[in-house]
Amino acid sequence: MIQRGSGVAVWRQIEQTIEAEISRNVYKPSERLPTEAEFAARFEVNRHTIRRAIAALESRGLVRVEQGRGIFLLDYAVNYNVGKRTRFSETLRQQKLDGSRTMLRALEVPATPKIAQALALQEGERVLQIDTVGRADGRVINFATHYFPAVRFAGLAEAFEETGSITEALKRYGVADYERVESRITARMPDDNVARLLQQTRNQPVLQVEGINVDQDGTPIEYGIGRFAGDAVQLIANNRDL
């Protein structure tokens, strides 16, 4: 109950009440909270007071406010390890999350200078591009673009569709294991397509990870660009593997 004249500002009491409800799991991760109008009616205050309480919660990283969509509980659903053995499905399985990847498209494209350098190819050589969406317990957390040498991995897209796993698909090409030799992590503002696929607004940053994977002989096999929803994933640099 809100106590007026208690010496604690009304908006602060509302902030503390909502925080207590968050700690009691009244709201689920990424669930939309009541609207400003609903909170205002519940606490019998004006929307300006509610807005101040929500702004305080947002500044502390407990909720996020999306224009036109509402107030959402902010929670890192996934701790994603970035190290020598970066594996999407394995990372989620270790956290008892149901992980899945869906292929959006697969096509052959000429290697740009950056892709060619990453894969030790000549500029213009054909590479296989596979775009995927990754989910954790049904929630989209990742949109990734993967590039592979097209000659060596002809038919890889079909193998990925059959297995649902890049790691398992690569085994069909004699790649029993592979490791990450380089990761570059940056914060970026998403374009319209990335924001749509990650189901977020364009003014919300994403975490972008560029990585190069090599086979057991040290030959580059994949250059990937992963974009993670910033409110869903916490990237962890695994120094034991790096």
Q: Three-class SS string for the chain?
A: CCCCCCCCCHHHHHHHHHHHHHHCCCCCCCCECCCHHHHHHHHCCCHHHHHHHHHHHHHCCCEEEECCCEEEECCCCEEEEECCCCCHHHHHHHCCCCEEEEEEEEEEEECCHHHHHHHCCCCCCEEEEEEEEEEECCEEEEEEEEEEECCCCCCHHHHHHHHCCHHHHHHCCCCCCEEEEEEEEEEECCCHHHHHHCCCCCCCCEEEEEEEEEECCCCEEEEEEEEEECCCEEEEECCCCC
44, two tokens: 């019998």
Residues 107 and 132 in one domain: yes
Give the pLDDT band (50/70/90) at residue 23. confident
Is 228 within 8 Å of 206 (Cβ atoms)?
A: yes
Q: Which domain holds residue 45?
A: 10-73
Residues 26 and 60 in one domain: yes
CATH number, residue 114: 3.40.1410.10
Residues 59 and 176 in one domain: no
Residues 138 and 172 in one domain: yes
Percent with pLDDT over 90 in the chain: 58
Q: Tell me, yes or no, whether 3 lies in a domain.
A: no
Q: Among 58, 73, 88, give the residue marking a domain's end.
A: 73
The span from the CA of 169 to the CA of 175, in Å, is 9
Q: Tell me, yes or no, whether 100 lies in a domain.
A: yes
Residues 87 and 31 in one domain: no
Q: Among 73, 98, 123, give the residue marking a domain's end.
A: 73
Residues 36 and 111 in one domain: no
Q: State the chain's mean pLDDT as an integer.
A: 88
Residues 46 and 84 in one domain: no
CATH number, residue 47: 1.10.10.10
Q: Tell me, yes or no, whether 1 lies in a domain.
A: no
Residue 75 pLDDT: 62
Q: Mean of the pLDDT values across residues 25-51?
A: 90
Residue 242 pLDDT: 42
Percent with pLDDT over 70 in the chain: 94
Question: pLDDT tens across 42-95, in order?
Answer: 999 999 999 999 998 887 767 888 878 899 886 655 777 787 877 787 877 776
Residues 184 and 233 in one domain: yes
pLDDT higher than threshold 80 for residue 239: no
Q: How many domains does the chain have?
A: 2
pLDDT higher than threshold 80 for residue 231: no
Give the pLDDT band (50/70/90) at residue 3. confident
Q: Among 55, 73, 91, give the residue marking a domain's end.
A: 73
Residues 69 and 86 in one domain: no
At a CB cut-off of 8 Å and minimum separation 6, what does 117 contact? none
Residue 76 pLDDT: 57
Lowest mean pLDDT among 51-65, 80-94, 136-150, 176-190: 80-94
Q: Tell me, yes or no, whether 101 lies in a domain.
A: yes
Give the pLDDT band (50/70/90) at residue 153. very high
Give the pLDDT band (50/70/90) at residue 212. very high
Residue 213 backbone phi and psi in degrees, to 5: -110, 145
Lowest mean pLDDT among 90-104, 140-154, 213-227: 90-104
Question: pLDDT tens across 83-128, in order?
Answer: 787 778 787 777 677 888 999 999 999 999 999 999 999 999 999 9
Q: Mean of the pLDDT values across residues 189-199?
A: 91
Q: Tell me, yes or no, whether 5 lies in a domain.
A: no
Q: Tell me, yes or no, whether 232 lies in a domain.
A: yes
